[in-house]
Amino acid sequence: MHPIIKEIIKGIANIDGFPHCFNIADLGCSSGPNTLLAVSNIMNEVLDVCKEKNLKTPQFQVCLNDLFGNDFNSIFKSLPMFNAKNFGQCFISGVPGSFYGRLFPDQSMHLFHSSCSLHWLSQEISIGKMHKIIRQVIKSIANLDGFLHCYNFADLGCSSGPNTLLVVSNIINEVHAVCKDKNLKTPQFQLPGSFYGRLFPDKSMHLFHSSCSLHGLSQLPEGLEINGLNVYMSKTSPPIIYEMCRMQFEKDFTMYLESRSKEIIHGGHMVLSIAE
């Protein structure tokens, strides 16, 4: 990308030179330690060309664009360090919005830059169409051999957000529907969750390890308001607080052991470190 930028900057200088203010937009800038790297490269090339050709250095207006959920605040916090690089007069602003629509006034920008952003679609492929494909695949699996004792599937590139588990939910629902329709035994599914419940298929794990995690209760015992301003068990806590927490731990640890006993193979091991 750098050689291309260098060629473009030289081409601009050779035609008309640089305007009084050189406007740059980075589309899909994201946020992180490398957000301003492309902008820095562009500005450095302009400065080098101006020095080489004895041209007046322009002012820079840099527009950083990404979707509304981008962390622009973290970018702005890094600007003092960026400005210390002495690019001259540089004015940086954030422009939230989709680059699949208008972002800037007519004929206002001199250079657009976008790196590894255009593979993102403006909208998801029809979920309804994807759902039909999933349904067809699940039915074909059931027609061939039925479902295994534990049905393992992976969502690769799941991302994170309100729709992260949507596809997983669709797959599980389709398996349940097919099992009910064909009178098949519903398989187990492996999903994230609390270690005070089931996490893995029956007899699938050889070794469990847990370090200083079991002191966290699955829930707070009811009635902790009698502990006053204390947020933990202290010397001033009433004796009943100790008893309530002990009973909750006993309940939680029993669920923990019952769940692991179903998941561990015969001859498997558990290594547990419990804080005193």
Using pLDDT thresholds of 50, 70 and 90, give the confidence band for residue 153.
confident
**Is residue 231 pLDDT above 70, yes or no?**
no
CA–CA dist 217, 245 (Å, integer)? 8
How much of the chain is helix, strand and coil, in % rounded to 5? 40, 15, 45
Residue type, 34: N
CB 28 within 8 A of CB 114: yes
At 135, give phi and psi (nearest 5°): -60, -45
What is the spatial distance between Cα 255 and Cα 260, in angstroms, rounded to a whole number?
Answer: 9
Hey, which bits of 103-188 come out as E strands?
A: 111-113
Mean pLDDT calculated for residue range 248-270: 91
For residue 162, is pLDDT > 90? Answer: no
Burial class (CB in 10 A: 0-12, 13-18, 19+), 241: buried
Q: What's the whole-number mean pLDDT along residues 172-198?
A: 87
Domains of the chain by residue range: 2-113, 127-182, 205-273
In the prediction, which pLDDT does 28 show? 93
**pLDDT tens sequence across 91-148:** 999 999 999 999 999 999 999 999 888 877 777 655 667 778 888 888 888 887 778 7
Strands 111-113 and 59-66: unpaired
pTM of the model: 0.50
Q: Which of 34, 156, 33, 36 is nearest to 87 (CA)?
A: 36
Listed ranges 61-65, 147-151, 164-168, 184-188; the one with the highest mean pLDDT: 61-65
Residue 260 binned pLDDT confidence (cut-offs 50, 70, 90): very high
Res 139: pLDDT = 87
The CATH architecture of the domain made up of 2-113 is 3-Layer(aba) Sandwich (3.40)
Chain centroid, CA 125 distance in Å: 20
Chain Cα centroid distance, residue 21: 37
Q: Answer yes or no: is pLDDT of 79 > 70.
A: yes
Given this model, what pLDDT does residue 255 score?
93
Residue 226 is given by DSSP the state G
